[in-house]
Amino acid sequence: MKHYHIISRIAIYLLAVVLFIFGIFHFRYPEDLLVYVPDFLPLGIKWAYIVGGAFIVVSISYLTNQYVKISSYVLFVLLIFFILTIHWPNYRNAGTAEMRQFALLNILKDTAIAAFALHIAASAYHQHFNLDNSD
C-alpha cells in the first residue's frame, strides 16, 4: 500500500532530523554531557563527540537511504548501552523523586527509539528501505 510507505518514510525522516539535532547538541555542548560518561570508559569527553558523530552518521544514512540496516543496528546497540550504563544507574541512584522520574523518562525514550531502530533494520533489505508496494 503506497500510503503506508509514505507515512513510514516520513516517520524515518523525522527520526533522522531528531538524531541530527542530538548529534549537533553533542558537538556544541560536550561539557554538559561529560557527567553522563561512565567512569569505566576511557577517553572522557571524546565520547560526547563519538556519540554525536554516530547520531549524525545514522541520520545521514536514513536521509540518503544508504547502509540503513547496519546503521539501525548501531543505533540500537548505542541506545541499549545508554540505558544500561547511564539511565538505569541514574534511576537506581537518584537522590530525589524528580531525578528518578527524569531517569525513567530517559529509559523509556531510548527504549522507544531503540525499538524503532530495530523496526527500521527489519524492514531494510540490501541496506536500503524496502520500498516495494506490497504489504
Q: What is the pLDDT of residues 115-124, one digit of tens each?
A: 999 999 998 8
pTM summary value? 0.84
Burial class (CB in 10 A: 0-12, 13-18, 19+), 9: middle
Q: How many residues does the chain have?
A: 135
* 8-state DSSP, 84: I
pLDDT (tens digit per residue) in 41-96: 888 889 999 999 999 999 999 999 999 999 999 999 999 999 999 999 989 998 89
72-73-78-79 Cα dihedral, nearest 10 degrees: 70
Cell 533489505 sits at which residue? Answer: 125
Hunting for cell 524515518 — which residue is that? 12
Residue 55, amino acid: F
Task: At 73, give phi and psi (nearest 5°).
Answer: -65, -40
